[in-house]
Structure 1
Amino acid sequence: MASRIPESFITEVRQKVNIVDVIGQYTDLVKRGRQWNGSCPFHDDHHPSLFVEENKQVFNCFSCGRSGSVFSFLMEKEGMSYPEAILSLAESADMQVDSSISAGVTQQVDSTTQVVYQLHTAAQRLYQHILLNTTSGEQALAYLHDKRQLTDDIIKHFGIGFVPEDNALLNYATEQNISREMMRTSELFISNDQGELRDRFSGRIVWPIKTERGQVVGFSGRALNANNSIKYMNSPESPFFTKGKILYNFDLSKNQIRQTNTVMIFEGFMDVISASMAEKPVGVATMGTALTRDHVRQLSHVAKRILLVYDGDEAGQNAARRSIDLIREYAKNVDIGVVYLPDHLDPDEVRVQRGLSVLKQTLEQNIQTPVEFLVNAARVGKNLSNQVQYLAFLQEVMKTLKSASPVEQDIQLTRIANEFGTSKHALQTQLQQSVTQKASKSQQTYSTMVEPPLYSNDYDGGLGQKDINQSITQVEQAERALIMAMIKSSQVMVQVKETAGFAFVHPDYQLLMMLTNIYQTQHPGDFDLAQYMDFIQKPELNQKIMAIDRSYGDIAIEKAAINDYLRVIMHDAPIDARIRELQQAINTAKQQHDDAKLLQFMTELINIKKKQSEL
């Protein structure tokens, strides 16, 4: 619960970030009354059960039970720690993060992770020093200068290095007294059958792979020896390095991406570097994997436009198709463009073979809409002079055009009619039939999700209101109402603490009482539900807090009600417990045909219920 980040900074982040905007990047939200409703992104939610309360800055799913603040949402969804979620949202709000705050977060990383991070940082610095300043790196440097046409400044900017075959990093780690187990954990070394370690990337030029905040967590290496059967090698997946969540160069490009609202996605690291040299420093690249949902969501936080710059071969075209679908699904408000590259060259080849000016012009001017790209891609591999293949082409085109704007539909149909001599009217008719068929197939009946019931503020003893969960006993309802009053009012907290012999029946509420007492000491101001849930940081308790707030959060605190809650918990709860014990004992006596005990237990039960009715 305690954090090394100043509370004032956390409060500022919470004030500048709207939970609706953040969660809206993961699922479509619709305003329903005073709340927002959408499908829960934590499970397969066919009937939207996620509700977001904008005024309280909290969320709750009525199906899976997940609930909390904007910080806990990111923690659950992105696997972040509490401090990491705070810094991530601060950066998304363009807040200046003081170095002391970042250092405080770093200190909270466990010791193993810290050693691994430090070793990766040291490795990058060592590899670059070897490349630029030693005889061991001369051949690799000549390759980068001559074949790749990279300057020393570019090499330094992107942190490129070279790993010689003399185990330079292994020797360094040994000198630093890093254990063999820690070396294996770092994945910077590999071992032979005898268990002997050596540098993983020996004989390779390496590009460092960093997190969004610039922490080196892996490398991509290219063999310098052309005879090496394994030309490229990446760091393996590990707890510190997940390819599906990291984008190459995002740490260096994210500020420029924010300023331009545009990001370019490339297939290779050298493509990203070439684009930067061509005055387009907004490039990122995936690492041998397809674009993922996490990548899309990460980029949609900082960009309103995504340009796909994939190779012109079949693999590149298929990757572009998949990426378009993924972006449309998980970043609906982001514009998409596809950059067409000449003669099936990749961006780095365009730079080296035709020059920076041609690459710059290509990246600026050869931009297709997704519809234009998909229509052109439908041609690939087809002989359109063959009627069967031409009709197959048209069928694929119609699928694309069904979701296109009327203008794009007209442009593409006109183009096809002119090129192939097909009547435009016939093409329009086929498109209309396709749209009609789609509409008839998609007719479905959805159950309407009703906004959770709002509870009356009229006092009726506090116990006559129905809880959403009908199985909750009267005693637990009293506990919930009382703990809500204690959370909102330190005076009620004092009253309850001074009540001799008081204790909650259920342990969770006793724990909440203790935590609330600490919270009120640290946060003496007005009660803030999101802040309180961030303080608790226990999912099962936060889920219960949301249920309590729904039922009792808007009810005025009245002295008579507090006394009723205390009476029920302290006096009725023991009676209820004894009644349940007697009912169970009576059933047992009946099964054992023990008439004496049956008479004893039934007499006691009658007397208890009689006294209870007289109260």
Structure 2
Amino acid sequence: MAERIPQSVIDEVRSQTNIVDVIQNYTQLVKRGREWNGSCPFHEDRRPSLFVDDKKQVFHCFSCGRSGTVFSFLMEKEGYTYPEAVLSLAKNLNLSGLDKYQGQPSARQEQFAAIFDLYQNAERLYTHILLNTTAGEQALAYLHDDRKLDDETIKRYGLGFVPSNNVLLAYAKEHNLADKLLLESQLFIDQDGEISRDRFNNRIVWPIKDVRGQVRGFSGRSLDPNNPAKYMNSPESSFFNKGNLLYNFDQAKPAIRAGQPAMIFEGFMDVISAALAGATGAVATMGTALTEHHVTDLSKITDKILLVYDGDAAGQKAAKRSIPLIRQVAPQVEIGVVSLPDGRDPDEVRREQGLEVLKQDLDHGVLTPTEFLIQAAKNGKNLENQAQYLDFLREAWPILAVASPVEQDYFLRQFSEEYGSDLTALQREFQEFLAHRPAQTVQKAPAKKQWRKVQTDQNGWSDNSWQPDYSDGFESLAALGEPTSPTASADDLAGHLNAGLTRTERAEQGLLMAMIKSPAAMNMVKGLPDFAFVHPEYQLLMMLYEAYTKQGQQSFDLAGFLDFVQKPDLNQKMMAIDREFGTLEVQRDAVNDYIRVIMKEAPYESQVEALNKKIALAKNQHDEMALIQLGTELINLRRKYSQQ
């Protein structure tokens, strides 16, 4: 029987795992303010309603209500048990000594393990066929003679050849692999649910691996000159997403971490050529534009990204699109653009001019984004022609507008010297552009409760002289009216998670968070002899939090507490509490207001509601005596409450 996983191991796995990285294996996430947003992978989500907080390491879907931590996400998505979710992430982190905690794998886990095993075996089989069989002779000759690759390079990058005799299908049948597994692997072509042949027949293939070196798909080049589909990638699937994968990232990552710049290319052969020339931080996108996911992955391990795109129009367009994306997603990253002479790509330079020339071009052909964009604006224009020169200036002003002051001055002087324009006139026209350009569209976050600096006394209470300043319609924490209309904004503190709550329940949420954040508040509430939460789930959460702290937890960690609770309905409540009250400082007056609402207003409102129901019944029955008696009780109840 497997041993229980120690809490220290769970804490280590949680601390070393980024929930954004895990969830982005299932859906693309985009940074929206302080959180990440994307389509929820648990349901058809036409309006992206999943939010992921990488600071607190939690997620929540505003549509289906699912919420939790990285462990609960994998439990729900993959069908893992809690220990299986922990161990699956521990394996990714290469933590050792965990075999004794292994239990039986889930069906979902076994399914993906079988698919990945098939991919690993397919890579080995295809490489063997390429290097060691007569079936691979033509493909090997192409790689040797046309692509100038030796066998060692072929092995290093796992290149292979798929003959036309359905060799992988034969292998699968020989090993009794289920048809369902073969269909889900996407390695075969099926017709009406029946497998007909290997997907990559008669193609040289490049394995596409994730950052851990696991083969997730293939890209194939046809050897048939009459085949209109010269290149073909594995289709998108739950385990192969081109927007999430970078070719060669597994081999490039150590070099990038060691200080090599991350160099982004367009083609696989460009990556291999660059690596042979010493640029071992080379990666490539796969027939898609650079994505936020790509930039985020790279910016975690480097502060310098070089774009090395082809010199043709498509490559120039890709570079121009990538520069603002990197600036937006990772503004701390230094960007460079490598412009190769004569519009050649790196593989052409290596094959035609040699590795030394390619190395020189990659080392010394780096432009700043402003240099590259200004140069691109000149392309195709006769700048001796006044009309075309003015068109060029109109393209140049927006480029210079986001450049540094030094670059602005440099290029304005360059324009003046090269084209004979008066420098003062250029400076004046550029300043006029800056003054009259359309304002940048900025999506403002919804108004939040803004707090000034808080000072606390020895008991942990905030000094009452420091008061909150509300900008969203609340006058004080005591004004716990109905929440505002829900939105899909990540920063809406009174949004979808708390939509429709009563004044009493919102007071319970505020009080519970205050008790969690302040030992003084916890002790005060527990010292009240008649106190109890109106809704039992908050009473249960308080008891669970006390048990959580007895495990030795020194401070509140939302993800850790959710994993301790492991009850979806309670976790959703806790997410709602944290979203609305988690950023607020604990104020003594606010806590007193919460307690008053729970202990005084809630019972009073309950009694009023019960009397009103009786009065309504008496009216229907035309019972005048009962109406007089109940009316008197209601008046006395209100008088008593107003005197408290």
* Both structures adopt the same fold (TM-score exceeding 0.5): yes
2:151 — aligned with what? 152
RMSD of aligned residue pairs (Cα, Å): 5.1
Q: Deviation digits for residues 496-519 of structure 1, max 9, x if unmatched? A: 8xx99x985425325525644664
Match of 1:98 among 70, 86, 96: 96
1:34 — aligned with what? none
Alignment check: 8 A CA contact 1:296 1:330 kept:
yes
3-state secondary structure, aligned to 1:42: strand
Q: What pairs with 1:165-204 in structure 2 (closer than 5 Å)? A: 165-192=164-191, 195-204=194-203
- C-alpha change, 1:194 and 1:244, in structure 2 (3 Å) is closer
One-letter amino acid matched to 2:236: E
* 1:97 CA displacement: 4.0
Q: Deviation digits for residues 487-546 of structure 1, max 9, x if unmatched? A: 988xx89x98xx99x98542532552564466456x234243243245446562332341
* 1:425 CA displacement: 2.9
3-state secondary structure, aligned to 1:373: helix
- C-alpha change, 1:446 and 1:186, in structure 2 (3 Å) is closer
Alignment check: 8 A CA contact 2:262 2:302 kept:
yes
3-state secondary structure, aligned to 2:216: strand
Alignment check: 8 A CA contact 1:589 1:595 kept:
yes
- C-alpha change, 1:241 and 1:397, in structure 2 (3 Å) is same
Separation in structure 2 between the aligned mates of residue 443 and residue 164 of structure 1, nearest angstrom: 54
Q: Deviation digits for residues 403-451 of structure 1, max 9, x if unmatched? A: 2223322332333333323233322222222122238788999997552
Scaled by the length of structure 1, what TM-score is found?
A: 0.77
Alignment check: 8 A CA contact 2:119 2:215 kept:
yes
1:526 — aligned with what? 554
Alignment check: 8 A CA contact 1:161 1:205 kept:
yes
Unaligned 5+ segments in structure 1 are 20-24, 29-37, 45-49
Match of 2:511 among 467, 481, 487: 481
Separation in structure 2 between the aligned mates of residue 304 and residue 470 of structure 1, nearest angstrom: 47
1:542 — aligned with what? 574
1:282 — aligned with what? 281
One-letter amino acid matched to 2:392: F
Alignment check: 8 A CA contact 1:219 1:234 kept:
yes
- C-alpha change, 1:386 and 1:118, in structure 2 (3 Å) is same
Separation in structure 1 between the aligned mates of residue 386 and residue 397 of structure 2, nearest angstrom: 16
Alignment check: 8 A CA contact 1:209 1:248 kept:
yes
Q: What pairs with 1:363-378 in structure 2 (closer than 5 Å)? A: 363-378=362-377
One-letter amino acid matched to 1:509: Y
3-state secondary structure, aligned to 2:295: helix
Alignment check: 8 A CA contact 2:509 2:538 kept:
yes
Is 1:457 aligned to residue 461 of structure 2? yes
Alignment check: 8 A CA contact 2:163 2:202 kept:
yes
Q: Deviation digits for residues 221-244 of structure 1, max 9, x if unmatched? A: 111222222110001111111111
Unaligned 5+ segments in structure 2 are 20-28, 40-50, 465-475, 483-501
3-state secondary structure, aligned to 2:359: helix
Q: Deviation digits for residues 362-400 of structure 1, max 9, x if unmatched? A: 111001110110011012233333322221111101221
Separation in structure 2 between the aligned mates of residue 339 and residue 599 of structure 1, nearest angstrom: 89
* 1:459 CA displacement: 11
- C-alpha change, 1:427 and 1:59, in structure 2 (3 Å) is farther
- C-alpha change, 1:606 and 1:112, in structure 2 (3 Å) is farther
* 1:171 CA displacement: 2.1
User: What is the percentage of aligned positions where both structures have the same residue?
Assistant: 43
3-state secondary structure, aligned to 1:228: coil
3-state secondary structure, aligned to 1:291: coil
Separation in structure 2 between the aligned mates of residue 610 and residue 222 of structure 1, nearest angstrom: 86
Separation in structure 1 between the aligned mates of residue 104 and residue 368 of structure 2, nearest angstrom: 42
One-letter amino acid matched to 1:579: V
One-letter amino acid matched to 1:217: R
Between the two proteins, the alignment pairs up a number of residues equal to 574
1:410 — aligned with what? 409
One-letter amino acid matched to 1:528: F
Is 1:466 aligned to residue 477 of structure 2? yes
3-state secondary structure, aligned to 1:383: coil
Is 1:509 aligned to residue 538 of structure 2? yes
Q: What pairs with 1:352-501 in structure 2 (closer than 5 Å)? A: 352-438=351-437, 451-452=450-451, 457=461, 466=477, 469-471=480-482, 472-474=502-504, 477=507, 481=511, 485=515
Alignment check: 8 A CA contact 2:271 2:283 kept:
yes
Match of 2:631 among 586, 592, 602: 602
* 1:604 CA displacement: 5.2
Scaled by the length of structure 2, what TM-score is found?
A: 0.74
